[in-house]
Structure 1
Amino acid sequence: MKKVIEDHSVAAQFHDAVHEWAVVAVEEHPDNEGECVCGQQNLLYMYTIYNSKKQETLSYIGSQCVHHFKRQDLDMQVSVFSQLLALKRAIEDRKKITLTSDYFSRALLEWLFAEGAFNNARNGYNGEEDYAFFLKMFNKRKKEDISAAQNRKIWVMLNSQVYPYIRDHPALG
């Protein structure tokens, strides 16, 4: 795997080349038969990484190989993409999704904000306030303290913004 990364990077050494890459997509192999560029087989989650310096993608990388990059931000990207895929499955299975750690994390909410999932015509395509609201509600320790009006807003935002964004996102195959 190190040789593959070095061959597809500007930097010649693996420890430098790892800084050129970011996780940009994830796919779930339905039969656990995915294969990593290193040759490891039987992968369930297969990640695509992107090199911004060479503007090149590599598919597929297993989560264990991503951990060899020894970058906390990449490990966090793997975690967020795994959460996104789990959330997409829950949406497709029509499960009741709540704004709790069962389906969300602060990192996932931050990713949704950065990707523009909270932007819409109602907020002038500036989702900062909606993101702040979601984060505030997510951070509440006592969910029973969330008012009926706040719960309605959460429900509306989940159904009209978050679900369609995740369901249709091309990076979540």
Structure 2
Amino acid sequence: MAQQGPTAPVPVPKAGSTPPVSKPVREGIDLVVNDKLYRHTGDKTMPLLWYLRDELRLTGAKYGCDQGDCGFCTVLVEGKAVASCTTKMEKLAGKRVTTVEGLADGQGKLHPVQQAWIDEDATMCGYCQPGQLMAAVDLLSRQKNPSDADIDKIGNLCRCGSYGRIRKAIKRAAATMKDAKA
């Protein structure tokens, strides 16, 4: 049997509406990734990480430990940080997923966390950075002024040990986001 290629995105329907269907609908899992609706018709136990990387070609989330401990594969599901390597597709029906590729506004303006990473020169090798960024976005959605201890509790690993720069970047993003709301 031929393997199916990447699922093409379709526009996200407005709340309360249903998209027109002109052909029979295949069984599957519908989810929204970076504001585009997708239907996964493959293995329901497939980890989200492999769906993102292999089927959607969104390679920002990185493979690390395959156990949800390192944070390299962190993405947001319904705004909360999750390890995509241990999150099964069957748990994502109707959910919104945001990857590092979906943080910028689409008009070229970076998310405040991304800009702070640049401003603080937080990136060393860069491998952990997509997961670090996503975990920081989650943290700042819950805590507007996190302490070093709050940031350290994120628990994402950095092979290069640039934790001091990461703390500075998260604090800069918090200040920027606070100023933007004032």
TM-score (norm 2): 0.30
Determine which structure has the larger helix proportion and give its number. 1
